[in-house]
């Protein structure tokens, strides 16, 4: 394990008792978890290979309590890590030994559903799927649907700008929220946006979304609600190779069709899924593509015919169109089971999350294969093919000496490859600690310094979730320095202007 | 004085020179929005017009990269050849602010987060900027984001620069998500419902499954308008279903087909129903249910409303009022503060735009954070000093 985190500060560890006493003055005794066994439950998120025992776990129930805790943390110079359901795959909620872990699980209420304005105000600890459940009786839903949607919470979705399988058509979290209430380090409570569209000045709500808990703690979210499409139909398309599948995906979009869902799986994943829980995927296919078309029935039928024709022209060996809702769900069942299925052939896997320009997919897969062979490991692939988001699942065996390290090295090589072809390190899982040390592959020092200056505008002491996202921490005073000579021109008026 | 850098390095040199002399710069593409924002001296203009050209366009990937000074009309024409578009329908400020039509640059469009009547369905400019390059007010060349749809690598600074009016950085290159154009469109018109019921019909339609892409109400014509886009077969079916769905309102219905419908929404996009004639013009963003309440209260407060209309199902109100030294800002802002939302003074004489807050004032903690964010990019207030706020 190669992760280096900021060293615990002795001055903070020495004041633990004082911190506990002051937290107990803010919260009911049961909401301050100091006992080691109970704290163990919080030692990691879904990136289980990294663990740390938090100094203390605080579970506030009101915004006033969050504010008081953040004011206390600022005053005592104690670090603070926010956590929702702990489903982060990038270590965003990895605790710090000298930090408070701020659990938002008690913020679990839907405060208001406003159908006329097509929005709902919810607390950050509400599960993603619970929002859709609460409004489905009226025919509405909340669009972003990350795979972890039965567990993950909306506050974490905002932190990671969570996506899902429908984002090509319906957008990510950032496109589906209208307002936030946030608390800054020091305890200030701010409201950004509301039930109206568009921010009045700087779009700080947009900035907060995907900021991985480094800028502020989200205490309320106003989400947009969408009306469920009248009809959704699925197509299951089989191709001899991943290349052919990728070409078909490109051809669908080139024809002006934006499907509600557009997913691809390779042969390794198909095999794993079929042995885990058979759902009728063709085992001899090199790749399968699932297309979901939704909307008015007349339009869906029209598009289904169009996509079927494109698929045949691109060499599909099999095209199935769902004839019932049950069949459509069956097409998806395998895709939704892909992660647990792959873990059965693993025994362990590391889930990567690069995004690439879709057209580079065949090339990236060939080279990924080569990289896997070089590291002596196997990779199974699932893709959000519509938006170029790859989830290579690196198979390894944690009980084997050196396997974890090999898997991590292969993962890093795969992400470097994504960046090299014009893509990015992470599409929807976040940088966290997992990809922190690869940020230099995408950004130079100047880019990263500018991002950290934004951090300084929110949290000048670097107390909120430090050690995540940025490979090196710079003091804000140092980042703020300007080297401009007063009155003297470093660049005399140039003839070209 | 006018600086016309040829490339990004020139832009960085110009900003560093300005820093050294403490000589603030106004940033301009083609100058179509020069009369927008707080009035400033504009003594030194940094023109990005020479940074023009589309550097990448891959229709299959739904992505386009253009230098900041690229004329919007060139981008629109290029996309049109492939049956694609900028789905956020950037409005043309010419009818509102004067100047030649169709003369915006993509950098300016992003800088003001210009978005049109498709806002509810397709999002704003901020939802379509995937990445950018810029020179900050520190004179440093910075990039952020990327060219792919899904990306959480680092802070989403694309959201921050969109709608920042050039106060954080001079954009040099923008990468945008582009989308297929609809095969056809139609508009369902409901007449004679009166304002309150007409708006209620829009809201009901916005909660329907018929995928309406725009929702407007024009009080002068007493007409609610609903746009449907897509393949012909789908548009026709949805139009009839939507008309039946709204049948309970008992309105006289009418349709606008294809080109007629397009022209109708272009006129609304550019706020033409309020643009012509004397007076100050405001754009007010509210919860859809508050649009009507806002106009009612403003009338009751005695404000001389000359023309207005609603877009975004009532969530956007465009108004023209008789000219006054305070542009009626106190009355408008008091109502907006009570309801939640914001009001922007879009058109007024420079003198008025010096005295009146063009943008909605913020509570003190938010105003302080906004200023710190400004300082993170431009600590000496060298870019567009005073354009957004008197204090920076």
pLDDT tens digit string along A367-406?
999 999 999 999 999 999 988 999 999 999 989 999 999 9
Residue A97 confidence (pLDDT) above 70: yes
Per-residue pLDDT at A449 = 97
CB-CB neighbors (< 8 A) of A189 in chain B: 365
Q: How confident is the model at residue B14 (pLDDT cuts 50, 70, 90)?
A: very high
Q: How confident is the model at residue A432 (pLDDT cuts 50, 70, 90)?
A: very high
Query: How near does any CA of chain A get to the CA of B52, in Å?
Result: 17
Put simply, the answer to whether B238 touches A296 (Cβ < 8 Å) is yes
Residue A200 confidence (pLDDT) above 90: no
Residue of B nearest to A176 (CA): B123
Q: Tokens 């990039």 identify what position?
A: B143
Residue A496 confidence (pLDDT) above 50: no
pLDDT digits (tens, 9 = 90+) for B72-94: 999 999 999 999 999 999 999 99
Per-residue pLDDT at A336 = 85
Q: How confident is the model at residue A343 (pLDDT cuts 50, 70, 90)?
A: confident
Neighbours of A179 (CB within 10 A): 19
> What gap in Å lies between CA B382 and CA B392, rounded to an integer?
9
Q: How confident is the model at residue A489 (pLDDT cuts 50, 70, 90)?
A: very low
Per-residue pLDDT at A362 = 84
Average pLDDT over residues B329-341: 97
Name the more confident of A491 and B102. B102
Per-residue pLDDT at A484 = 61
Of B59, B207, B342, Cβ closest to residue A200? B342
CB-CB neighbors (< 8 A) of B157 in chain A: 207, 450-451, 454
Spatial contact of A87 and A201, defined as CB atoms under 8 Å apart? no
pLDDT digits (tens, 9 = 90+) for A141-194: 999 999 889 999 999 999 999 998 889 899 999 999 999 999 999 999 999 999
Burial letters for B21-50: b for 16+ Cβ neighbours within 10 Å, e otherwise? beebbbbbbbbbbbbbbbbbeeebbbbbbe
> What gap in Å lies between CA A113 and CA A133, rounded to an integer?
12
Q: Tokens 């708006």 identify what position?
A: B199
pLDDT digits (tens, 9 = 90+) for B254-308: 999 999 999 999 999 999 999 999 999 999 999 999 999 999 999 999 999 999 9
CB-CB neighbors (< 8 A) of B138 in chain A: 482
Residue of A nearest to B82 (CA): A254
% of chain A exceeding 90 in pLDDT: 84
A-B CB pairs within 8 A amount to 308
Put simply, the answer to whether A197 touches B373 (Cβ < 8 Å) is no
- Paired tokens of A176: 């589906």
Residue of A nearest to B286 (CA): A196
Pick among B139, B150, B204 to test the A interface (most A CBs inside 10 A) = B150
Residue of B nearest to A211 (CA): B155
State the SS3 of A243-310: HHHHHHHHHHHHCCCCCCEEEEEEHHHHHHHHHHCCCCCCCCCCEEEEEEEEECHHHHHHHHHHHHHH
Instruction: Give the list of residues 6+ apart from residue B296 with CB closer than 8 angstroms, or none.
Output: none
Query: How near does any CA of chain A get to the CA of B95, in Å?
Result: 22
Query: How near does any CA of chain A get to the CA of B344, in Å?
Result: 8
> What gap in Å lies between CA B241 and CA A297, rounded to an integer?
12
CB-CB neighbors (< 8 A) of A160 in chain B: 152
Put simply, the answer to whether A196 touches B285 (Cβ < 8 Å) is yes
Query: How near does any CA of chain A get to the CA of B201, in Å?
Result: 11
pLDDT digits (tens, 9 = 90+) for B15-31: 999 999 999 999 999 99
- Give me chain B's average pLDDT, please: 97
- Paired tokens of B252: 């006289």
Spatial contact of B383 and B24, defined as CB atoms under 8 Å apart? yes
Put simply, the answer to whether A295 touches B206 (Cβ < 8 Å) is no
Residue B372 confidence (pLDDT) above 50: yes
Put simply, the answer to whether A484 touches B20 (Cβ < 8 Å) is yes
% of chain A exceeding 70 in pLDDT: 97
Per-residue pLDDT at A251 = 93
Which range (A14-18, A55-59, A362-366, B94-98) has the least confidence?
A362-366
Residue A456 touches chain B, beta carbons under 8 Å: yes
Spatial contact of B271 and B344, defined as CB atoms under 8 Å apart? no
Pick among B14, B24, B56, B151 to test the A interface (most A CBs inside 10 A) = B151
Spatial contact of A425 and A437, defined as CB atoms under 8 Å apart? no
In A314-382, alpha helices (H): 325-336, 338-345, 361-375
- Paired tokens of B142: 């910075």
> What gap in Å lies between CA B162 and CA A456, rounded to an integer?
21
% of chain B exceeding 90 in pLDDT: 99
Of A115, A118, A489, Cβ closest to residue B20? A489
User: Which A-chain residues 407-446 have CB contacts (< 8 A) with chain B?
Assistant: 422-431, 435, 439, 442-443, 446
Per-residue pLDDT at A495 = 40
Answer positive or negative: Cα dihedral of A7, A44, B152, A456: negative
Average pLDDT over residues B27-45: 95
> What gap in Å lies between CA B79 and CA B57, rounded to an integer?
9
> What gap in Å lies between CA B102 and CA B81, rounded to an integer?
18
CB-CB neighbors (< 8 A) of A355 in chain B: 146, 148-151
> What gap in Å lies between CA A259 and CA A262, rounded to an integer?
6
> What gap in Å lies between CA A420 and CA A412, rounded to an integer?
12
Q: How confident is the model at residue A450 (pLDDT cuts 50, 70, 90)?
A: very high
Residue A179 touches chain B, beta carbons under 8 Å: no
Average pLDDT over residues A431-453: 96
Put simply, the answer to whether A482 touches B379 (Cβ < 8 Å) is yes
**Element spanning A320, H or E:** strand A318-321
Rg (Cα) of chain A, in Å, rounded?
Answer: 24
> What gap in Å lies between CA A84 and CA A157, rounded to an integer?
9
**Element spanning B216, H or E:** strand B212-218
Residue of A nearest to B156 (CA): A207
Put simply, the answer to whether B369 touches A422 (Cβ < 8 Å) is no
Q: Tokens 């097509």 identify what position?
A: A118
CB-CB neighbors (< 8 A) of B172 in chain A: none
Of B60, B144, B237, Cβ closest to residue A359? B60
Query: How near does any CA of chain A get to the CA of B98, in Å?
Result: 23
Q: How confident is the model at residue B118 (pLDDT cuts 50, 70, 90)?
A: very high
Q: What three-state secondary structure class fits B235?
A: helix
CB-CB neighbors (< 8 A) of B179 in chain A: 258
Put simply, the answer to whether B144 touches A451 (Cβ < 8 Å) is yes
Query: How near does any CA of chain A get to the CA of B159, in Å?
Result: 5
Residue of B nearest to A491 (CA): B17
Per-residue pLDDT at A491 = 44
Residue A226 confidence (pLDDT) above 50: yes
B115, B135, B136: which is closest to B127 by C-alpha? B115
Neighbours of A495 (CB within 10 A): 5
Per-residue pLDDT at A492 = 41
Give ipTM to 2 decimals. 0.97
CB-CB neighbors (< 8 A) of A294 in chain B: none
Of B115, B150, B315, Cβ closest to residue A428? B150
CB-CB neighbors (< 8 A) of A203 in chain B: 113, 126, 159-160, 162-163
User: Which A-chain residues 152-171 have CB contacts (< 8 A) with chain B?
Assistant: 160-161, 163, 167-168, 171
Put simply, the answer to whether B380 touches A258 (Cβ < 8 Å) is no
CB-CB neighbors (< 8 A) of B372 in chain A: 456-458
Per-residue pLDDT at A490 = 43
CB-CB neighbors (< 8 A) of A204 in chain B: 160, 366, 369-370, 373
Of A200, A357, A431, Cβ closest to residue B359? A200
A395, A364, A363, A357: which is closest to A268 by C-alpha? A395
> What gap in Å lies between CA B301 and CA B141, rounded to an integer?
49
> What gap in Å lies between CA B152 and CA B161, rounded to an integer?
16
A362, A354, A359, A372: which is closest to A416 by C-alpha? A354
CB-CB neighbors (< 8 A) of A228 in chain B: 209
Per-residue pLDDT at A290 = 97
What letter would DSSP give residue A425? S
Of B144, B149, B157, Cβ closest to residue A168? B149
């Amino acid at each position: 394990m190669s992760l280096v985190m900021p060293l615990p500060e002795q001055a903070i560890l020495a004041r633990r008792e004082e911190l506990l006493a002051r937290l107990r003055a803010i919260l009911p005794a049961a909401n301050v978890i100091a006992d080691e066994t109970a704290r163990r439950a919080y030692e990691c998120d879904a990136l289980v290979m990294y663990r740390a025992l938090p100094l203390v776990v605080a579970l506030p129930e009101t915004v006033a309590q969050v504010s008081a805790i953040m004011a206390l943390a600022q005053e005592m110079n104690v670090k603070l890590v926010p956590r929702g359901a702990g489903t982060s795959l990038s270590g965003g909620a990895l605790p710090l030994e000298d930090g408070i872990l701020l659990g938002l699980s008690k913020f679990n209420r839907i405060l208001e559903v406003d159908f006329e304005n097509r929005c709902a105000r919810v607390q950050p600890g509400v599960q993603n799927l619970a929002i859709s459940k609460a409004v489905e009786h009226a025919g509405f839903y909340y669009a972003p649907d990350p795979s972890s949607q039965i567990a993950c919470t909306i506050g974490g979705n905002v932190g990671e700008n969570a996506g899902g399988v429908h984002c090509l058509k319906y957008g990510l979290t950032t496109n589906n929220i209208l307002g936030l209430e946030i608390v800054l380090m020091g305890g200030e409570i701010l409201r950004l946006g509301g039930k109206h569209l568009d921010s009045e000045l700087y779009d700080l709500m947009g900035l907060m979304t995907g900021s991985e808990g480094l800028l502020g703690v989200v205490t309320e979210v106003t989400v947009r609600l969408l009306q469920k499409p009248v009809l959704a139909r699925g197509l299951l398309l089989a191709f001899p190779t991943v290349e052919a599948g990728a070409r078909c995906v490109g051809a669908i979009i080139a024809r002006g069709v934006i499907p509600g869902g557009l997913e691809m799986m390779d042969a390794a994943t198909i095999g794993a899924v079929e042995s885990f829980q058979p759902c009728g995927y063709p085992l001899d296919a090199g790749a399968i593509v699932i297309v979901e078309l939704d909307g008015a029935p007349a339009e869906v039928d029209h598009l289904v015919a169009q996509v079927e024709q494109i698929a045949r022209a691109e060499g599909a060996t099999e095209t199935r169109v769902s004839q019932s809702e049950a069949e459509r769900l069956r097409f998806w069942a395998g895709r939704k089971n892909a992660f647990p299925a792959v873990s059965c052939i693993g025994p362990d896997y590391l889930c990567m999350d690069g995004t690439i320009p879709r057209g580079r997919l065949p090339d990236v897969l060939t080279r990924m294969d080569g990289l896997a062979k070089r590291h002596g490991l196997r990779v199974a692939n699932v893709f959000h093919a519509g938006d170029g988001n790859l989830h290579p699942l690196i198979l390894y065996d944690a009980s084997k000496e050196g396997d974890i390290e090999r898997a991590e090295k292969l993962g890093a090589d795969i992400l470097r490859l994504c960046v090299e072809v014009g893509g990015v390190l992470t599409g929807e899982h976040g940088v966290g600690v997992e990809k922190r040390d690869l940020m230099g592959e995408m950004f130079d020092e100047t880019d990263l310094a500018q991002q950290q200056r934004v951090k300084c505008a929110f949290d000048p002491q670097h107390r909120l979730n430090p050690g995540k996202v940025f490979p090196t921490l710079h003091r804000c005073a140092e980042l703020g320095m300007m080297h401009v000579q007063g009155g003297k021109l470093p660049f005399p008026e140039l003839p070209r202007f | 004085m006018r600086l016309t850098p040829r490339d990004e390095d020139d832009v960085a040199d110009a900003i560093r020179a300005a820093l050294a002399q403490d000589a603030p710069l106004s940033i301009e593409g083609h100058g179509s929005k020069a009369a927008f924002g707080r009035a400033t001296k504009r003594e030194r203009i940094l023109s990005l017009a020479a940074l023009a050209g589309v550097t990448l366009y891959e229709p299959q990937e739904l992505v386009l990269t253009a230098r900041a000074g690229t004329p919007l009309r060139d981008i629109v024409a290029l996309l049109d050849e492939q049956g694609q578009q900028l789905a956020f329908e950037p409005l043309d400020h010419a009818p509102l602010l004067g100047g030649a039509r169709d003369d915006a640059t993509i950098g300016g469009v992003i800088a003001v987060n210009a978005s049109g009547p498709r806002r509810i369905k397709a999002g704003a400019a901020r939802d379509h900027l995937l990445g950018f390059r810029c020179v900050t007010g520190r004179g440093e060349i910075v990039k952020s984001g990327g060219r792919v749809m899904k990306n959480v690598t680092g802070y989403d600074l694309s959201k921050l620069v969109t709608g920042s009016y050039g106060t954080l950085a001079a954009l040099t290159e923008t990468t945008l998500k582009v989308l297929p154009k609809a095969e056809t469109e139609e508009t369902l018109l409901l007449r004679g419902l009166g304002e309150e019921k007409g708006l209620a019909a829009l809201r009901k339609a916005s909660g329907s499954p018929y995928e309406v892409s725009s929702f407007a109400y024009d009080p002068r014509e007493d007409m609610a308008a609903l746009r449907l886009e897509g393949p012909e077969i789908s548009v026709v079916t949805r139009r009839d279903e939507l008309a039946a769905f709204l049948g309970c309102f008992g309105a006289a219905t009418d349709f606008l087909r294809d080109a007629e419908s397009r022209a109708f929404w272009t006129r609304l996009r550019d706020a033409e129903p309020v643009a012509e004639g004397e007076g100050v013009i405001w754009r007010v963003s509210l919860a859809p249910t508050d649009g009507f309440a806002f106009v009612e209260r403003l009338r009751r407060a005695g404000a001389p409303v000359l023309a207005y209309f609603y877009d975004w199902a009532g969530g956007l109100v465009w108004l023209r009022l008789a000219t006054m030294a305070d542009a009626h800002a106190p009355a408008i802002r008091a109502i907006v503060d009570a309801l939640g939302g914001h009001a922007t003074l879009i058109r007024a004489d420079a003198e008025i735009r010096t005295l009146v807050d063009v943008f909605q004032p913020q509570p003190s903690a938010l105003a302080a954070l906004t200023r710190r964010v400004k300082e993170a990019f431009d600590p000496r207030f060298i870019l567009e000093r005073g354009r957004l706020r008197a204090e920076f």
